[in-house]
Structure 1
Amino acid sequence: MLQKKKETILRTLRTIVRVMNYLGLALILFILTVYIGIWGALPSKADLTEVSSYKPSQIFDINNELIGIYYLNNRVPVSLDSIPQHVVHALIATEDARFYDHNGVDARSALRVIVKSLALQDASSGGGSTLTQQLAKNMFDRKNLSFLTLPVAKVKEMIIAQRIEKLFTKEQILELYLNAVPFSGNTYGIESASLKYFGKSAIDLTVTEGATLIGTLKATHYYNPQRAPARSTQRRNTVLNQMAKYGFLTVDSLDILKKEALELDFNTYDEQQGVAPHFRENLRQKMVAWCKENSDSDKPFNLYTSGLKIYTTIDLKMQRLAETAAQEHMQKMQSQFESEYPASKAPWRDKKTVESKLKQLKSYQKLKAKGLIESQIIDSLSIKRKMKVYTYDGYKKVRYSTIDSLEHYLRFLNMGMLAINPQDGAVSTWVGGVNFEKFKYGHIESKRQVGSTFKPIVYATALEEGQSPCQYFSAREVSYENYDNWSPSNSDQADYYYQNVSMTGALTRSLNAVSVKILEKTGIEKVIAMGKKLEIKSTLPAVPSLALGTAELSVKELAGAYAAFVNESKPVKPYFLSRIEDSNGKMLEEFKPKNKIKPAFSENTRQTMITMMESVIDKGTGKRLRSTYGVRMDVAGKTGTTQNNKDAWFVAVTPTLVAVTWVGHDDHRIGFRSTRVGQGANAALPIVAKFLRKIERDTSFDTITKTKFKPMSNDVSVAMDCPDLVRDGFLKRLFTNPEKKKTKNFKKKN
């Protein structure tokens, strides 16, 4: 009996040994199949070297401050020397205490990990992964192989880890790891994470800040310091405990550090968000084209992996102030715009407008491509579901249909604002719209009718043609028979029935009737020629309404032309790209402004126009700049409002800055209901006014805000010494019917 038991035990043991041998052989064969690439090729030495060198391109402002990043993954690589030692200690103590003792795979836990992965399909088996294995995982995506995905991936990562250890030193592996590892918020690398959560470079991280970031690696979403500060703090303290356990912290310092509060300085460089998103997209398009035309060792540069350093003329601090000013005003402006319309007459709910916009949507076109008829498509797009919509108070959860969402966004006004240095055209601020994520179309280079902001060009041409700033014109309306009895009128026309207005007075009050008369006397072709001298490339229509700004120009074009009024009569071409360097700081290309040397008009004309436009600000259509917003610096400028209140404009000119703003609706069919709300002085001027007031309060901009216009010459002062208005004499008033329009033909000069 005893003998039989012994034989049974022996047979069982032999069976177990045989099974173990088979399992061992199967494991070896499985590892071999992974090694030879049956489950997908393993990366070569060249692959490992190339992937490890991927670097995003960085965008810098005029003061070398980081504006944004172009990346495949949001990471900014830095050398190990630029990472504090305490961050490295936190990483090793928490993730791989035996890092310096293994060759990429920790033999103690490797078998446990493989068995758990193969036998149990346990995703948590990653506890045995070394830093080098984690690096391998981060560098190469896992291929979906159904139930074999996890075991194949684990074996691959072990093999790759050992190859990495042969190629790189331990210090290089730490550098690669800290530059590639994913942190919270889709951010890769310690530098990007540091910039995002603490607003500083990694080298400046404190012990607790570094421990906070390392702590998120266990579960980046769960321990996100912005979304879950309490959990993040708890995890940080665990990291600090580990550092003390392995001798990287003393017990006394541990107790002190664990009591520190979590303080974030959150920033974002995401393409949809962050500072200057419309500008960054415009720059991205230009850089993609540049990369195609330029190469490194016969291989074209890659904007997302070549690590280019792109230096711009943008002033990041000023840009943030401009964006804040725009958001503050546009929120108020949106409310005014919507409140003017009764719900039944709201243009964003107009059936024809909504239907035409609906047909442009991809969702509509997809349903149509499937063969659905119009009514079926409308029914489908009328189904309500949960979604988030943008508002000025943040994103709001709603139950909207696609049509509801379309109407919601169709109500939004938009804007564009550009500020440049008039001496060379360097762009300081670029605000392309109210929200990049929902309104990607930028409004700096798009064209709209410019309204009365074109009048200074007409008046400057008139002065060049010998007209005097003290020449008077009747302010009465005229009906031009050869232009279908077109009759340009002034606002508050009754105030000017018996008035004659000087050029200064007409520009100050933006009188349409007088501006057309000045254009007629000057000659349309002369004004068009002046536009070309001012680097306006857009077509200027050869019609009398040109005086009122029916030409369609861009914000950028107008800014370059207005620069002539403070740049020795020379226009500029706005530019924003300063230089491009490679990842090592080697200059690849430098960009210089390409501006005309020849003045567009005389110095006397320039001085006269600045004085006229100062009058616009001090007592004319732009006086809100001072009376409402309290701007004190020297400013000249011009407001602009187009027909049917579709577009509102304002241009501010200072000795060192030209700022142009447009406000309106992307859809030309939708405009302001009244001039009271839609005029440039109300809809556009406040953005520039708020912006200028903000930089006035910041002493770092004193060189801009405290610079004065040069005084007029004696000749110009004498030439402008006259009242703005001269009333008709008694007899003329007696025998003139002010309400009867004079009829004539508009005379075109050759």
Structure 2
Amino acid sequence: MRFSVNDLKLPARVAAAWQHAQARPWFPTRARLAALRRPTRRQWLWGLAALPALGLLYVLVLIPFTPGIRDIRKARLEQPAQILSQDGKELAVFKRSNRDWVALEQIAPAVVKALIATEDHRFYQHHGLDWRRTASSLVYTLSGDRQGGSTITQQLARNLYPEEIGRAPTLTRKLKEAITAFKIEALYSKDEILETYLNTVPFLYNAYGIEMAARTYFDKPAKQLNVIESATLVGMLKGTSYYNPVLNPERSVARRNTVLSQMVKRDELDAATFEQLKKRPLRIDFERQEEPTGPAPHFTQQLRKWLIAWADSNGYNIHTDGLVVHTTLDMRLQAWATQAVARQGRTLQGVANAGWNQRGGWSADNPLVQMLVRESAEFRKSKLGPDEALQALLKDQAFMRRLRADKLRPEAGFLAVDPATGAVRAWVGSRDFSLDGFDHVQQARRQPGSTFKPFVYGAALQQGLRAQDQRPDQAVEITLAGGEVWRPADAGPPSGRDMTLADALAYSKNTITAELMQEVGVGRVVQLARALGVRQSPLEPVPALALGSSPVTLKEMVSAYGTLANGGSYHEPMWVTRIENRDGEVLAEFAPTKAEQVFDARLSYALVDMLRGVVDKGTARAIRQQYGIRADVAGKTGTTQNNADGWFILMHPELVVGAWAGFNDSRINLRNEQWGQGARSALPIVGDFTARALRARVIDAKAKFTEPVENHWWSGLGAALQSRWNDWWAPAPPIPGDTPKLRPQPRPDAAPAQPEPEPAPEPPQRITVVPATGLPMPGEAIEESTPLLPLTRGSLYSVPADAPAEAWTAP
């Protein structure tokens, strides 16, 4: 059956057109191909007319993809976000770059004359695009001599919007650049364009704008630049690295003279003066301009990441919208924290220097030193063989000094949080942000040592055990799957006597804690640690977790202790209270997160009460004896294997404070057994800070942890019945000297590392006094009744702890 157009029943005109098309062949004939090879005059005219139309259409299509006028105004009137402390002090300003904006009147006229004469001498005649210069640059480029034809306005567009416009040598990029230049010319006057350009152009060494460039290369403001200095800086714009006056002075002089000759050509400088100036040498007074870090650089660094995410999701720009961010940080507490970290850092540096100067310390024979050399960038870049490169670097004294200064620098982290709200009050991420920007509060994960032990005892309380329950102080062997045996130990031999759980925590007994972990189950301990605040770091469920074998952050640990201080109620750490615009209108407010009751309030108080013993009589007794803190506080020290990490966290009803001390490389320690313990390395930071906060009454010295009140009559009865039940059915304690048969745990990949035990305290006998201060050595055990003053400065001496007051007045 054949198909006909008539079958479609189309209108007569349409059917006729269809039949006409059917009659014409669809393939190109030889005659048609010949016609295409020899276009007619009309076809030529139509083709030439179509090119501008297509170009105009393409430009119209590109317009929506160029920066809008509103965005250009925001870039010109850039107002970076301002970060304020709780008490209204400035912490930081989030600038797009390190620059100091100055008005055109505050820039030397020679700078403007040199810029226009060199970069765009018809600047005041065009409207963003110099057609004559563009055409000439196109001709030169086609002939093989590539030249730029961008005006100052086009360069400004490229500098302001490097992402939207780009720098690729394509027609699309040039068109977008020209469109944006036209927009800028329509919006701003010529002087405003010059001012914006000179304040946004980069000059290397983190210097943006003419003001920062003048300070960096000539140590003077832009207003005082002379003709030679102005020509030098303008000459750098052709290629800042190539014409860098610091590294390439000869190129810089040649380029400077080219700029001066252009000024003569444009009648901005007379020829006689040019002949004198071109012979003068460069007189650079270079000083790198560091961007101010503010009083809390690590805090604001972490806050910046959070604020960028918030601004992106809410349609704001942290560089241009003038946001004012009010934080929870207390400026006084932050200053005291910074001072405490710096002071203890200097002390630990002296200890480290002394320890590594001893025999077997920093020497070419030390295997660790050799390993550090092999891991250095200089070793990797060496073209010598491995052994030859190692020996060469070990003999390079300058390299070894740099490596030692970098590796043997003790670091510290500090955090203070309000337990009632989770508000961050002080945050110090390292000893010096300019030397070490790594944040030891939120970024660094280190083994917490004995500061993890309260989670074990908290899990035991959840299982019905009490602080007064006793366990024998004896050797413990824990058999792992596969037959491996782990034997945790303390500093001294086990006494064989029974010890209450409260004393075991106060004296940081490793053996009893490891046994208790087996009794309550590692899973319950992990679950409690997660609930209290250790919510990001992975916790390996192995027996050694009881002694803090899994690395965590200081922020997590302080948050977890804050939950205990808050009666078992968890608040996520917060650092911002509200965000305003430049006019003071509130854009967003932030309240503390809803409290999560993750731990029974009565048990939380019982655990805090056990941790009071750490401060009153245990490993952290220096808080009372050395720093004179009499407030209701509780806490825990921590020390890891080989004294790689020292920790101390202190709880007060109104503030929880934590510190970590150690080296960035956990293989390195102070090479001093006593100073490596948390009670000597980290505790002084917390003690110094807390004592000042109490004296200044920033926190109330009379505030106390309060035991929860029973809400119902049956609550007390239930607790009594549970206690009686536990007394009836609790297993008999092991006979002293026997090794408890403990449940084997799942075998880990390797036997868990055994943290270095903290020594149980002995009755203090003698006190060593530091000659520089006349005070007892940090962390020295002193009886509360022992008078501390008056002390005589002088040579090292010791007196009995029970000596009368007169004994302190003479060496």
TM-score (norm 1): 0.61
Among 315, 327, 346, which residue is 1:331 paired with?
Answer: 346
Paired with 1:219 and 1:596, the residues of 2 have a C-alpha distance of: 60
Match of 1:562 in 2: 561
Identify the range of structure 1 (665-674 vs 44-53) with the bigger mean alpha-carbon deviation.
44-53
Match of 1:262 in 2: none
Paired with 2:317 and 2:370, the residues of 1 have a C-alpha distance of: 41
CA contact (8 A) 1:381 1:401 kept: no
Among 497, 505, 508, which residue is 2:506 paired with?
Answer: 508
Cα deviation, residue 525, structure 1 = 2.4
Match of 2:542 in 1: 543
Q: How many aligned residue pairs are there?
A: 552
Match of 2:489 in 1: 489
| Cα gap change, 1:383 to 1:677, in 2 (>3 Å) | closer
CA contact (8 A) 1:414 1:665 kept: yes
Paired with 2:515 and 2:70, the residues of 1 have a C-alpha distance of: 74
CA contact (8 A) 1:276 1:431 kept: yes
| Cα gap change, 1:500 to 1:375, in 2 (>3 Å) | closer
Paired with 1:673 and 1:454, the residues of 2 have a C-alpha distance of: 24
CA contact (8 A) 2:362 2:369 kept: no
Gaps of 5+ in 1: 1-42, 79-87, 97-105, 122-147, 158-162, 197-212, 223-267, 385-399, 720-735
Paired with 1:545 and 1:438, the residues of 2 have a C-alpha distance of: 35
CA contact (8 A) 1:524 1:544 kept: yes
Is 1:64 equivalent to 2:88 in the alignment?
yes
Among 632, 635, 641, which residue is 1:643 paired with?
Answer: 641
Is 1:529 equivalent to 2:527 in the alignment?
yes
Match of 2:171 in 1: none
Match of 1:420 in 2: 417
1:224-263 aligned at under 5 Å gives the runs none
Give 2:617's aligned amino acid: K
Give the match's secondary structure for 1:320: helix
* 1:431-457 Cα shifts (integer Å, max 9, x gaps): 111222232221112221111111111
Paired with 1:178 and 1:562, the residues of 2 have a C-alpha distance of: 52
Match of 1:402 in 2: 399
| Cα gap change, 1:478 to 1:696, in 2 (>3 Å) | same
Cα deviation, residue 375, structure 1 = 6.4
Paired with 2:389 and 2:586, the residues of 1 have a C-alpha distance of: 55
Give 1:486's aligned amino acid: W
Cα deviation, residue 170, structure 1 = 13
Cα deviation, residue 706, structure 1 = 4.4
Is 1:276 equivalent to 2:296 in the alignment?
yes
**Percent identity of the aligned residues?**
30
Is 1:434 equivalent to 2:431 in the alignment?
yes
Give the match's secondary structure for 1:648: strand
Give the match's secondary structure for 2:446: strand
Paired with 2:365 and 2:424, the residues of 1 have a C-alpha distance of: 39
Match of 2:79 in 1: 55
Identify the range of structure 1 (657-666 vs 583-592) with the bigger mean alpha-carbon deviation.
583-592
CA contact (8 A) 1:568 1:599 kept: no
Cα deviation, residue 619, structure 1 = 1.6
Match of 1:743 in 2: 739
Cα deviation, residue 411, structure 1 = 0.7
Give 1:492's aligned amino acid: G
Paired with 2:407 and 2:314, the residues of 1 have a C-alpha distance of: 43
Paired with 1:72 and 1:506, the residues of 2 have a C-alpha distance of: 54
Cα deviation, residue 414, structure 1 = 1.3
1:348-427 aligned at under 5 Å gives the runs 352-354=367-369, 356-358=371-373, 361-362=376-377, 365=380, 367=381, 373-374=385-386, 401-427=398-424
Cα deviation, residue 584, structure 1 = 4.6
Match of 2:332 in 1: 317
Cα deviation, residue 317, structure 1 = 2.2
Cα deviation, residue 686, structure 1 = 0.5
Paired with 1:295 and 1:481, the residues of 2 have a C-alpha distance of: 56
Give 1:324's aligned amino acid: Q
Match of 1:692 in 2: 690
| Cα gap change, 1:175 to 1:320, in 2 (>3 Å) | farther
Paired with 1:63 and 1:591, the residues of 2 have a C-alpha distance of: 17
CA contact (8 A) 1:56 1:303 kept: yes
Match of 2:667 in 1: 669
* 1:107-136 Cα shifts (integer Å, max 9, x gaps): xx99x968x997xx9xxxxxxxxxxxxxxx
Match of 1:12 in 2: none
Paired with 1:413 and 1:74, the residues of 2 have a C-alpha distance of: 30
| Cα gap change, 1:276 to 1:468, in 2 (>3 Å) | same
| Cα gap change, 1:577 to 1:463, in 2 (>3 Å) | same
Cα deviation, residue 403, structure 1 = 3.9
| Cα gap change, 1:46 to 1:489, in 2 (>3 Å) | closer
Match of 1:345 in 2: 360
Paired with 1:375 and 1:479, the residues of 2 have a C-alpha distance of: 44
Match of 1:294 in 2: 313
CA contact (8 A) 1:347 1:670 kept: no
Is 1:680 equivalent to 2:678 in the alignment?
yes
1:578-593 aligned at under 5 Å gives the runs 578-593=577-592
| Cα gap change, 1:44 to 1:315, in 2 (>3 Å) | closer
Cα deviation, residue 575, structure 1 = 2.7
CA contact (8 A) 1:348 1:354 kept: yes
Cα deviation, residue 533, structure 1 = 2.3
CA contact (8 A) 2:86 2:329 kept: yes
Cα deviation, residue 359, structure 1 = 5.4
Cα deviation, residue 322, structure 1 = 0.4
| Cα gap change, 1:215 to 1:414, in 2 (>3 Å) | closer
Give 2:294's aligned amino acid: G
Give the match's secondary structure for 1:559: helix
Match of 1:469 in 2: 467
Give 1:67's aligned amino acid: L
Give the match's secondary structure for 2:567: coil
Q: Which has the larger radius of gyration?
A: 2
CA contact (8 A) 1:419 1:660 kept: yes
Match of 1:518 in 2: 516
Give the match's secondary structure for 2:224: coil
Cα deviation, residue 611, structure 1 = 1.6
Give 1:540's aligned amino acid: L
Q: Hey, which of these two has a bigger chunk of helix by percent? A: 1
Paired with 1:411 and 1:349, the residues of 2 have a C-alpha distance of: 15
Match of 1:447 in 2: 445
Give 1:622's aligned amino acid: A
Give the match's secondary structure for 1:440: coil
Paired with 1:424 and 1:62, the residues of 2 have a C-alpha distance of: 14
* 1:649-700 Cα shifts (integer Å, max 9, x gaps): 101000011111111121121124344111111011000011112222324x
CA contact (8 A) 2:478 2:744 kept: no
CA contact (8 A) 1:473 1:517 kept: no
* 1:9-68 Cα shifts (integer Å, max 9, x gaps): xxxxxxxxxxxxxxxxxxxxxxxxxxxxxxxxxx99889745422232222222232101
CA contact (8 A) 2:571 2:596 kept: no
Give the match's secondary structure for 1:630: coil
Give the match's secondary structure for 1:340: helix
Give 1:53's aligned amino acid: L
Gaps of 5+ in 2: 1-66, 119-146, 157-182, 230-287, 711-715, 721-734, 747-811
CA contact (8 A) 1:480 1:746 kept: yes
Among 305, 323, 343, which residue is 1:308 paired with?
Answer: 323
Paired with 1:565 and 1:642, the residues of 2 have a C-alpha distance of: 23
Paired with 2:348 and 2:738, the residues of 1 have a C-alpha distance of: 39
CA contact (8 A) 1:56 1:76 kept: no
Give the match's secondary structure for 2:416: strand
Cα deviation, residue 376, structure 1 = 7.3
CA contact (8 A) 1:178 1:189 kept: yes
Paired with 1:47 and 1:466, the residues of 2 have a C-alpha distance of: 64
CA contact (8 A) 1:419 1:657 kept: yes
Among 705, 726, 737, which residue is 1:709 paired with?
Answer: 705
Cα deviation, residue 413, structure 1 = 1.5
| Cα gap change, 1:272 to 1:487, in 2 (>3 Å) | farther
